[in-house]
Amino acid sequence: MTNIKPISDLRNYTEVLNEVKENSPVYLTRNGRGEYAIIRLEELDKLKASIRLLSNLEEGEKSAREKEWLSAEDVEAMLGL
């Protein structure tokens, strides 16, 4: 269940932080609108890694479209396998 709280609840930040769990961030609103999300650092690291991976995959696909795809045999030869 989504955990949404007004930002004023941060006056008692310990209670709010205790509600932050893995895959269960706490969303904070300001004037009734979503403004912030509190997530655990481990989740932030996973999100950053996912973004880097997707960026690298996109870069590789773009390169393959522009220069040509390599066959499995070509890759093995390049790696000396």
Regarding whether 29 and 13 lie in a shared domain, the answer is yes
Residue type, 78: M
| Structural domains in the chain (count) | 2
Regarding whether 33 and 47 lie in a shared domain, the answer is no
- Look up the domain containing 75 and give its range: 42-79
Share of the chain above pLDDT 90, in %: 75
Regarding whether 62 and 51 lie in a shared domain, the answer is yes
- In the block, tokens 């893995």 appear at 22
Q: How far apart are CA 36 and CA 43, in angstroms?
A: 15
pLDDT digit string (tens) for 20-29?
998 999 999 9
Model confidence, pTM? 0.69
Regarding whether 34 and 48 lie in a shared domain, the answer is no
Residue ranges of alpha helices (H) inside the chain are: 13-18, 41-67, 72-79
Q: How far apart are CA 62 and CA 30, in angstroms?
A: 41
Q: How far apart are CA 13 and CA 36, in angstroms?
A: 14
pLDDT in tens, the chain (81 residues): 899 999 999 999 999 999 999 899 999 999 999 999 999 999 999 999 999 999 999 998 998 889 888 888 988 999 998
Looking at residue 31, the DSSP 8-state letter turns out to be T
Task: Give the pLDDT score at 64.
Answer: 86
